[in-house]
Chains A and B, each alone.
Chain A
Amino acid sequence: MSIFVDENTQVIVQGLTGGQGRFHGLRNRDYGTKVVGGVTPGKGGTDVDGIPVFNSVKEAVAATGATASFVVVPPKFAAAAIIEAAQGGINFIVCITEGIPAQDEAVTFNRLVEEFPGVRLLGPNCPGIISPGKCNIGITSGDIALAGGPVGIVSRSGTLTYQALYELSQQGIGQTTCVGIGGDPVPGTNFIDCLSAFEADPETLAVMMIGEIGGSEEERAAEWIKANMTKPVVSYIAGVTAPPGRKMGHAGAIISGSKGTAQAKMDALRAAGVHVCQNPTEAGQKMGEIVKAF
């Protein structure tokens, strides 16, 4: 099984007619994802390589029955696009847009919680989600993933998500689902959401968790793991050598005072029984040992 998406998930792409939307939307379709429509205001009635384009999410959902949306629009328009998706009847929204103002993210997140409690947002500023062999929504290159499980991956960083997939696939270890939750200060989906979904998924037997400096989501995840997780977790935290007070690329990756350091996160995870590794390769090898012992 997989989490959040599967082979039946029908997806629309908000921004399909743009350069990025077209490239990744078609790449997702080529992977086998059911990309059933696109949304661009004013371009309804046209198509992108055979995929029908609609003026609004509402129209697209009415015509296609889609339940998931891939939001690929510039930062200025992203918050409105996410809300439009929720209003239009979408219940799983993947937003890859990087550079959305934090104030917009805070308002959007809380509007979803208050007005659309059944809707899950993944991202923004994330690589998306891939259930190998079934569904790929986002910008992950499908050929580095391997179908069949038994490992679930959850990561805050895009490129390290690819690195994690690669480390496992190289050893012949497949993945059930790989979720990139994104590096912004207000992610729609967090580690605990993914960990609990993996814990409940019978085909996921172990989880790789990639964190980074900033915030306290890894520490909270550690608490959750200690109390609830029965499956082994291997973790790597990026940013051990990052200086305090400087944003390391991601808006959320900043050490404020003594808070958000990699060391504190690693200590918390270790105390929760997680296998904490020093680099992505070591994490891949550790997961290899665990999977071979099953």
Chain B
Amino acid sequence: MDLFEYQGKQYFARYGIAVSPGGVADTVDQAVEVATRVGYPVVVKAQVKVGGRGKAGGVKLAANEDEVRLHAGNILGLDIKGHVVHRLWVERSSDIAKEYYASFTLDRQNKVHLGMLSAQGGVEIEVVAEENPEAIAFLSIDPVRGLDLATARRWVNEAELDEVAREQAAELLVRLYECYTKGDCDLAEINPLILTPDNKVHALDAKVTLDENASFRHPEWDEFRADEFEDPREKMAKEKGLNYIGLDGTVGIIANGAGLAMSTLDVVNQVGGTAANFLDIGGGADADVMASALEVINADPKVKAIFVNIFGGITRVDDVANGVLEALQRVTISAPIVLRLDGTNAVEGRAILAPHLNEVLITEPTMLDAARRAVGLANA
């Protein structure tokens, strides 16, 4: 789960990482309230999960109430790369002497944690990595040993942060590492991490991705979830416990297993179609899950055909077949369904469906045949 900047800052604050005083605002009046509370000048920032907000006019400095009203009014409702701004973060403006970069993420190749620190922050780290890689101090961290203050001190020296910033930065990095590990982040990034003219170090931005697998030990994440979904189809799927990603095509896809679902998208594409979604019903899905999956797909008006691709393992094909029949009773499915059924109890599953097959409920013997049929129907 990607957090909005304001959520990331709230999460950082839990781990003692210094951020600017500020608050969220969903209306112009709320923005003024926050600004009055934290004191002028303030920065009004669009809360969207996409980069390049500044260039799109989503980050503005305001010296007084009139300017807050002007900027907040302009930014709310602004479309930034397809993300409409519904919420603002208003914070006390900071004077900046220096901008740094700091992040922790998993180094998948070496299976350790990777810290990145640079005295050249404020720009995209990918650009720095490409144009001036020696400006980034990389630190490999053994997950068993973790990061101690002594190592962090050597690291800030190596990155050549300004001397006055080093001790504060080292302490902040240890806290950020704690946030990353104990806080179960896939990514914890501060860009920029700033040094102010009065020699204070703090986080001016926050980019945090949480590892959903760890949500069982983080009840505090519930508050982040309310604003998680911008796509109503994904919201509905999540409520039904389905692993769904909305796309733009016309063939609705249901498969069991992430790999097979990805492969189904590819095959649909290869035979000239476009996928409306990725949907993995997971292992051991029963009839009810299958019915819910069809309901979610059916709610997408762009879907012109539905391709159900099942290779039974833990999932039993007879359960899938029963789920299809259940869904047909529960809701009126508006697009034809093409099924490919193999694996555990495939014979039983096909037998269950046999009496019900017609021009809108079709089975095909192989994945490729079924893909061609579904794409043909969708493109007709």
Chain B residues near A269 (CB, 8 Å)? Answer: none
Contact with B along A235-274 (1 / 0, CB 8 A): 0101111110010111111000100001000000000000
Question: In whole angstroms, what is the CA distance A60 to B366 when docked?
Answer: 45
Question: In whole angstroms, what is the CA distance A183 to B258 when docked?
Answer: 9
Chain A residues near B184 (CB, 8 Å)? Answer: 101-103
Nearest CB in chain A: distance from B265 CB, A: 5
Identify B262's interface contact among A99, A144, A249, CB under 8 A. Answer: A249
Report yes or no: B214 in contact with A183, Cβ–Cβ below 8 A: no
The answer to whether B342 has its CB under 8 Å from any CB of chain A is yes
Chain B residues near A102 (CB, 8 Å)? Answer: 106, 184, 186, 211, 213-214
Closest residue to A166 on the B side, CB-wise? B342
Contact with A along B260-281 (1 / 0, CB 8 A): 1111011111100001001010
The answer to whether B368 has its CB under 8 Å from any CB of chain A is yes
Closest residue to B315 on the A side, CB-wise? A159
Report yes or no: B367 in contact with A280, Cβ–Cβ below 8 A: yes
Report yes or no: B213 in contact with A107, Cβ–Cβ below 8 A: no
Question: In whole angstroms, what is the CA distance A128 to B366 when docked?
Answer: 25
The answer to whether B108 has its CB under 8 Å from any CB of chain A is yes
Question: In whole angstroms, what is the CA distance A210 to B258 when docked?
Answer: 13
Question: In whole angstroms, what is the CA distance A37 to B278 when docked?
Answer: 40
Chain B residues near A253 (CB, 8 Å)? Answer: 258, 262
Closest residue to A190 on the B side, CB-wise? B111
Identify A144's interface contact among B186, B343, B368, CB under 8 A. Answer: B343
Interface band, chain B:
35 or more
Chain A residues near B247 (CB, 8 Å)? Answer: 243
Identify B311's interface contact among A159, A213, A246, A257, CB under 8 A. Answer: A159
Report yes or no: B368 in contact with A279, Cβ–Cβ below 8 A: yes
Report yes or no: A212 in contact with B111, Cβ–Cβ below 8 A: no
The answer to whether A76 has its CB under 8 Å from any CB of chain B is yes
Report yes or no: A241 in contact with B275, Cβ–Cβ below 8 A: yes
Q: Of A236, A238, A257, A281, which is in contact with the most chain B CB atoms at under 10 Å from its CB? A: A238
Report yes or no: B259 in contact with A160, Cβ–Cβ below 8 A: yes
Question: In whole angstroms, what is the CA distance A249 to B313 when docked?
Answer: 17
Identify B266's interface contact among A98, A127, A216, A241, CB under 8 A. Answer: A241
Closest residue to B248 on the A side, CB-wise? A243
Question: In whole angstroms, what is the CA distance A212 to B261 when docked?
Answer: 11
Report yes or no: A281 in contact with B367, Cβ–Cβ below 8 A: yes
Interface SS majority for chain B: mixed
Q: Given A159-B257, A159-B311, answer yes or no on A75-B213 (Cβ-Cβ < 8 Å).
A: yes
Question: In whole angstroms, what is the CA distance A241 to B343 when docked?
Answer: 25
Closest residue to A279 on the B side, CB-wise? B267
Report yes or no: B106 in contact with A240, Cβ–Cβ below 8 A: no
Report yes or no: A158 in contact with B283, Cβ–Cβ below 8 A: yes
Report yes or no: B214 in contact with A252, Cβ–Cβ below 8 A: no
Report yes or no: A103 in contact with B262, Cβ–Cβ below 8 A: no
Report yes or no: B216 in contact with A106, Cβ–Cβ below 8 A: no
Report yes or no: B367 in contact with A186, Cβ–Cβ below 8 A: no
Question: In whole angstroms, what is the CA distance A121 to B258 when docked?
Answer: 22
Pick the interface stretch among A46-54, A109-117, A146-154, A226-234: A109-117
Identify B257's interface contact among A101, A160, A217, A278, CB under 8 A. Answer: A160
Question: In whole angstroms, what is the CA distance A231 to B63 when docked?
Answer: 70
Question: In whole angstroms, what is the CA distance A250 to B126 when docked?
Answer: 25
Q: Given A75-B213, A144-B343, A158-B283, answer yes or no on A109-B259 (Cβ-Cβ < 8 Å).
A: no
Report yes or no: B126 in contact with A157, Cβ–Cβ below 8 A: no
Chain B residues near A162 (CB, 8 Å)? Answer: 311, 313, 343
Q: Given A242-B265, A279-B368, A280-B263, answer yes or no on A76-B111 (Cβ-Cβ < 8 Å).
A: no
Chain A residues near B143 (CB, 8 Å)? Answer: 103, 106-107, 109-110
The answer to whether A69 has its CB under 8 Å from any CB of chain B is no
Question: In whole angstroms, what is the CA distance A257 to B268 when docked?
Answer: 24
Report yes or no: B262 in contact with A248, Cβ–Cβ below 8 A: yes
Size of chain A's interface in residues, with CB distance under 8 A? 60
Question: In whole angstroms, what is the CA distance A76 to B213 when docked?
Answer: 10
Report yes or no: A139 in contact with B245, Cβ–Cβ below 8 A: no
Question: In whole angstroms, what is the CA distance A263 to B261 when docked?
Answer: 18
Question: In whole angstroms, what is the CA distance A147 to B184 when docked?
Answer: 43
Chain B residues near A166 (CB, 8 Å)? Answer: 311, 342-343
Closest residue to A23 on the B side, CB-wise? B314
Report yes or no: B266 in contact with A103, Cβ–Cβ below 8 A: no
Report yes or no: A251 in contact with B213, Cβ–Cβ below 8 A: yes
Question: In whole angstroms, what is the CA distance A99 to B186 when docked?
Answer: 14
Chain B residues near A119 (CB, 8 Å)? Answer: none
The answer to whether A15 has its CB under 8 Å from any CB of chain B is no
Chain B residues near A158 (CB, 8 Å)? Answer: 257-259, 283, 313
The answer to whether B334 has its CB under 8 Å from any CB of chain A is no
Report yes or no: A157 in contact with B313, Cβ–Cβ below 8 A: no
Q: Of A100, A216, A239, A241, which is in contact with the most chain B CB atoms at under 10 Å from its CB? A: A241
Chain B residues near A75 (CB, 8 Å)? Answer: 213, 216
Report yes or no: B213 in contact with A238, Cβ–Cβ below 8 A: no
Closest residue to A157 on the B side, CB-wise? B259
Contact with B along A184-198 (1 / 0, CB 8 A): 011000000000000
Question: Other CB < 8 Å A-B pairs besides A75-B216, A76-B217, A159-B256, 17 of them?
Answer: A76-B216, A102-B186, A103-B214, A110-B112, A157-B258, A183-B258, A210-B259, A239-B263, A240-B266, A241-B265, A248-B261, A248-B278, A251-B213, A257-B126, A262-B266, A278-B270, A279-B266
What are 23 inter-chain pairs, A to B, with CB distance below 8 A? A75-B216, A76-B216, A101-B184, A103-B143, A139-B313, A139-B314, A141-B312, A141-B344, A155-B259, A159-B257, A160-B260, A163-B263, A212-B258, A216-B109, A238-B259, A238-B266, A239-B266, A240-B269, A241-B268, A241-B269, A248-B261, A249-B261, A251-B213
Which residues from chain A sit less than 8 Å from chain B, CB to CB?
Answer: 75-76, 98-104, 106-107, 109-111, 114, 127, 139-141, 144, 155-163, 166, 183, 185-186, 210, 212-213, 215-217, 220, 236, 238-243, 246, 248-253, 257, 262, 278-281
